[in-house]
Amino acid sequence: MFKILVSDPISDLGIQQLTDASDVTVDKKTGLSEDELVAIIGEYDGLLVRSQTTVTPKIIEAGAKLKVIGRAGVGVDNINLEAATKRGIVVINAPDGNTITTCEHAFAMMMALARHIPQAYAKTITGVWDKKSYLGVELRNKTLGVLGMGRIGSEVAKRAKAFGMNILAYDPFLTEDRAEKLEVKIATVDDIVRNADFITVHTPLTPQTKHMISRPQFEVMKKGMRIVNCARGGVIDEMALVEALDAGIVAGAAFDVFEKEPPQADHPFLSNPKIIVTPHLGASTVEAQENVAIDVSEQVLHILRSEPFINAVNIPPVAPSVMNKLQPYFTLGEKLGSFAAQITHGAIKEIVVEFAGDLADVDTQPLNRYIVKGVLSRHFGGDVNIINSMHLAKTSEVNVVVTKASKTKGFTNLISVKLIADGGEERVVAGTLLQGYGERIVQLGKFPVDISPEGHQILISHNDKPGIIGNVGTLLGQSDVNIASMQVGRIVVGGEAIMLLTVDKEVPAEVLVKLAALAEINTATEVVLV
């Protein structure tokens, strides 16, 4: 049974698939402090948050069973990604569910700004009929500058087009093709700040976007322009904005987000009549809250049930078509990594993975993570998973090299894992996925083999002399170890050889010692593949 903690108000309808699941129990406990969360998080497999809970390294460390943190929304700046990745916890978000809602909020803020709606409302309800203070401006024929043309920025641009606005857009990933489709003109930040009547920002807060609109930008702005921030507090420099308003450069500003939320009671925005504010309401519609909760709940279930999932923030995104192609190889890749690590005696310094055949033209990043997990699990056990395997390799100073090859040795697909260890030791294990037969190991070092990678195996290296197979069989029989199958490989008669036995149960350490002591046998190593 999986336990999930919902620590922020999240739509009940949205999380219904979790509450209905027979293998899940859901606890809703909102408004907890960091210490309160630290005290209880240890019981939970999953944590679901919106934007109120700050998931700190301390909470993540205390989450001994935690496998997934789900953010019902886009921004994950309230979750410490580094700590989660280190612990191998998947962080997922719901990037699509609140796009339209947030775009509509930004648009509503722009219209409210153009027509002074909040200020006029506040005065009208006091009984004052003040028509002259609230002369507005039209949006039609005005220039709108959009900074960040992702999901929300693009939707804002579409709506602005319908209002007859001319749009200047800046986004490092905006291509001429997309700009043409969206009927926007690509511009630089400088073009935008000099020419726009309205500016709206739709970027995440990153070191590059922090204060991307600050004093130097306000200084060159068109007098009387208006500015909207429904993205993240800090993209626009709050203090520089207040100065620009006082200097008469900016006519009005609309903010849904703040550098610190909630803002202090004496924050200058809250008393400035030219600034309208909302309390981070961008995503707050019934529809968006249901959408994001449904999306994130579905992914949390997949992760807990070890099923394929999307929208992981702490692993690079992969197209579904690529994922479908790679998925059948995940367990084979992990087993090859694990096998190679179990037959390597020295400290591993480098993992060299080679893909050939069907896998040569695919972005194999997710599969690489499984292979590295297989290798590292020998030392890290259950602490390594596909989220932190690359991170652990890096922090353990294990270099990972991935190459593509044209030679498939007659197979349609081939994965080869070479481990290079201290003292120059090198181990190679290669495998393939055979149509109709499943996973096979087809090469061990220089020896071609054909083994199903599963269960308990003994790898023996020996000299190719008569009687060895009999001696091994006798010893294992006397030790009550039953042999299920056997493979022998050699390059030349009488030369170096290997024997790989699949046995029905764990092999006691003393039996391995006795095997290694038999005449003509060099090493005997147990390999366990689960």
Ligand X SMILES: O=C(O)CC[C@@H](O)C(=O)O
Ligand Y SMILES: NC(=O)c1ccc[n+]([C@@H]2O[C@H](COP(=O)([O-])OP(=O)(O)OC[C@H]3O[C@@H](n4cnc5c(N)ncnc54)[C@H](O)[C@@H]3O)[C@@H](O)[C@H]2O)c1
Which residues are identified as catalytic?
A: 232, 261, 280
Dihedral sign for Cα 16, 19, 24, 26, please.
positive
What is the contact mask toward ligand Y in residues 243 to 282, using x (rule: CB under 6 A)? -------------xx----------------------x-x
Question: Which is nearest to 253 in space by CA: 286, 237, 229?
Answer: 229
Binder of residue 204, out of ligand X, ligand Y, none (CB less than 5 to 8 A by kind): ligand Y
| Peptide bond before residue 262 is cis, with ω within 30 degrees of 0 | yes
Query: Judged by CB under 6 A, does residue 283 bind ligand Y?
Result: yes
Question: Which is nearest to 152 in space by CA: 200, 186, 103?
Answer: 103
What is the contact mask toward ligand Y in residues 89 to 108, using x (rule: CB under 6 A)? ------x--xx--x------
C-beta of 300: minimal distance to ligand X in Å? Answer: 16
Would you say 313 and 495 are in contact if contact means Cβ atoms under 8 Å apart? no
Residues of this chain, 32-51, that bind ligand X according to CB under 6 A: 50-51
The smaller minimum CB distance to ligand Y, of residues 152 and 356, is found at: 152
The beta-strand segments (E) located in 371-437 are 399-405, 413-421, 426-434
C-beta of 282: minimal distance to ligand Y in Å? Answer: 2
d(C-alpha 105, C-alpha 98), whole Å: 11
Number of residues that bind ligand X (CB under 6 A): 10
d(C-alpha 496, C-alpha 491), whole Å: 7
d(C-alpha 418, C-alpha 350), whole Å: 8
Among the listed ranges 69-77, 242-250, 378-386, 456-464, the one in contact with ligand X (CB under 6 A) is 69-77
The smaller minimum CB distance to ligand Y, of residues 87 and 202, is found at: 202
d(C-alpha 483, C-alpha 480), whole Å: 10
Binder of residue 66, out of ligand Y, ligand X, none (CB less than 5 to 8 A by kind): none
Environment class of residue 361 by beta-carbon count within 10 Å: exposed (0-12), middle (13-18) or buried (19+)? exposed
d(C-alpha 524, C-alpha 511), whole Å: 9
Binder of residue 50, out of ligand X, ligand Y, none (CB less than 5 to 8 A by kind): ligand X
C-beta of 106: minimal distance to ligand Y in Å? Answer: 8
C-beta of 49: minimal distance to ligand Y in Å? Answer: 14
Binder of residue 147, out of ligand X, ligand Y, none (CB less than 5 to 8 A by kind): ligand Y
Return the bridge partners of 421, or none: 348
Residue nearest to ligand X (CB): 73
Query: Judged by CB under 6 A, does residue 105 bind ligand X?
Result: no
H-only helix segments in 220-281: 238-246
For ligand Y, the binding residue among 4, 6, 15, 147 (CB under 6 A) is 147
Kindly state the tokens that stand for 346.
Answer: 């020295």
d(C-alpha 454, C-alpha 447), whole Å: 19
Given 3-state DSSP classes, what are the helix, strand and coil percentages for the chain, each rounded to the nearest 5? 35, 25, 40
Query: Judged by CB under 6 A, does residue 98 bind ligand X?
Result: yes
> Beta strand pairing status for 438-444 and 426-434?
antiparallel
Angle, alpha carbons 414-416-418 (nearest 5°): 175
For ligand X, the binding residue among 74, 240, 315, 415 (CB under 6 A) is 74
Binder of residue 445, out of ligand X, ligand Y, none (CB less than 5 to 8 A by kind): none
Question: Which is nearest to 208 in space by CA: 165, 157, 158, 172?
Answer: 172
What is the contact mask toward ligand Y in residues 59 to 88, using x (rule: CB under 6 A)? ---------------xx-------------
Binder of residue 203, out of ligand Y, ligand X, none (CB less than 5 to 8 A by kind): ligand Y
Among the listed ranges 33-41, 278-286, 300-308, 316-324, the one in contact with ligand X (CB under 6 A) is 278-286
Q: Which residues bind ligand X (CB under 6 A)?
A: 50-51, 73-75, 98, 280, 282-284
Binding site for ligand Y (CB under 6 A): 74-75, 95, 98-99, 102, 147-153, 170-173, 202-204, 206, 208-209, 230-232, 256-257, 280, 282-283
